Structure 1
Amino acid sequence: MKTLGKKIRLLRHQKGWSQEDVAKRLDISIPAFSKIETGITDINLSRLEQISTLFEMSVVQLLTFSEGEQDQKTQNELEAVHKKLMDREAEVIDLQKKVIELFEELRHNKVTA
């Protein structure tokens, strides 16, 4: 069960949660949760379901989760966010060009008037 505890710890860190945060969500004490993470306490099925729900995974996903898979998922998410950011940057540049064109047009109209 130590491997499962390490997976849970990794997921907790990825969410930016403390042991206290997770313990409160699971309605258990901090030491009880710490024992789960360190593998001292075996996890029963109902607790496993509770933990998987907390991390928005199925029990199977939690049991088969590996750091490499999460790294790939994170990489894919980062690429998607990067693409959105680049698209937004292009939109901003286009809007800046339009503002400059309008400013130049206003300035030209003032000079000729």
Structure 2
Amino acid sequence: MKTLGKKIRLLRHQKGWSQEDVAKRLDISIPAFSKIETGITDINLSRLEQIATLFEMTVVQLLTFTDSEQDQKAINELETINKKLMDRETEVIDLQKKVIELFEELRHNRVTA
């Protein structure tokens, strides 16, 4: 549930609302809302529906919502890993060429000996 709390906090920040603003709209105390955001309190379905409605989303949208900044970080990380993989593949190909050259040299030396 900590991930859901982070999503709720992100949505709250995007709206420019304080914890107090959201707590009042949900008709709960500020500490109770804080526990939702930090993942201390598990959210039941009715509270989840209430929060989704508050942010003008469906429950499914709320549960599957992702931060585009986080997505971009993941994409950048994948690109970095992919580049490293391509570099390693190039190294392997170069080593394979060297092995073939050495094998050919060894074979040539056996034929001439």
Shift of 1:42: 0.2
Paired residue type of 1:57: M
> 1:68 offset after TM fit, Å?
1.5
Match of 2:29 in 1: 29
Instruction: Indicate the residue corresponding to 2:64 in structure 1.
Output: 64
TM-score, scaled to structure 1: 0.61
CA distance in 2, matches of 1:68, 1:53: 21
2:54 aligned partner:
54
Q: What are the equivalent positions in structure 2 for 1:1-113 lying under 5 Å apart? A: 1-68=1-68
C-alpha separation in 2, matches of 1:44 and 1:34: 15
Alpha-carbon displacement from aligned partner over 1:61-111 (angstroms, at most 9, x marks no partner): 000000018x9xxxxxxxxxxxxxxxxxxxxxxxxxxxxxxxxxxxxxxxx
Q: Quick one: distance in 2 between partners of 1:18 and 1:52?
A: 17
Q: Which runs of 4+ in 1 moved over 6 A?
A: none
Give me the whole-angstrom Cα distance separating, in 2, the residues matched to 1:63 and 1:16: 20
**For residue 53 of structure 2, what is the amino acid of its counterpart?**
T
TM-score under structure 2 length normalisation: 0.61
Q: How many matched pairs? A: 72
The letter for the 2-side match of 1:60 is: V
Give the gaps of 5 or more residues in structure 2: 72-113
Considering only aligned residues, what root-mean-square deviation do their CA atoms show, in Å? 2.0
Output the CA distance in 1 between the equivalents of 2:68 and 2:17. Answer: 21
AA of the residue aligned to 2:56? E
Aligned residues with identical type, % of pairs = 93
**Aligned counterparts of 2:16 and 2:27: Cα–Cα separation in 1:** 18
